[in-house]
Amino acid sequence: MNRVALVTGASRGIGRAVAVELAREGWAVCVNYLEHREAAESLVRQLRDSGHMAIAVGADVADRQAVEAMVQAVKAELGPVDLLVNNAGISRQGLFQDTDDETWDRTLAVNLTGARNTAKAVLPHMLSEKRGCIINISSIWGLRGASCEVAYACSKAAIIGFTRSLALELAPSGIRVNCVAPGCIETDMVRALGEETRAMLVEETPLGRLGTPEDIAHAVAFLASERAAFLTGQVLTADGGFIV
């Protein structure tokens, strides 16, 4: 029987690295995407060429019906979801007083409600089997706050509360829920800040470098493994010492 993982927002960046690492660990992987279909399908071809089972499914995680349809598609092609990685997220920079309702609502819809939608869609199978694993991707900005990214920081702080609360609720059913809070990672989101800001973030990181998507993927793979069988409700901060 396949061990099946669903990784949201997996066409690039951290999600892509997570999908690759989980495939190497023996998981059959669903690569979820919204806009970057070509990148998602390219990743799936890469994984299949390496002998792994993988599919790409497009769905907006903020759309509950689309998420439920995606989970059913995964079940039909790979099997029921045993591992959910809630990685899909968006961030928009700007002063709080300039943040319009559309930006605020969309940020929370994707980053927080999206995690709620996917969790609700995969939980019936996990509850019936009394096993399963959910890993949510938060951010260090959800732990310390972020100027000019209030909506994003709020959504990521909420993910931590979501993780801890759901972990307590699901523990009696044998389902583990944990969280990874990445620091400054070499992704398109950080590159968009400009080279000057990037250099400043490197300087502020005690380990003297930005993290890589693979750094986060290794943390996710650990939490998904039996080596973390006694861990639930935890927030693993992978930030090179940024907020120590």
How many angstroms separate the CA atoms of 118 and 86, rounded?
Answer: 8
Task: Please enumerate, as own/partner, the contacts of 201-210 that have beta carbons within 8 Å and a separation of 24 or more.
Answer: 204/242, 205/239, 205/240, 205/241, 205/242, 206/240, 206/241, 206/242, 206/244, 207/240, 207/241, 208/240, 209/240, 210/184, 210/185, 210/186, 210/240
188, burial (CB in 10 Å: exposed 0-12, middle 13-18, buried 19+): exposed
Has 152 been annotated as catalytic? yes
Q: How far apart are CA 214 and CA 68, in angstroms?
A: 29
Measured between alpha carbons, how far is 49 from 37 in angstroms, rounded to an integer?
Answer: 18
Catalytic residue among 152, 154, 179, 216: 152
**Catalytic residue set:** 152
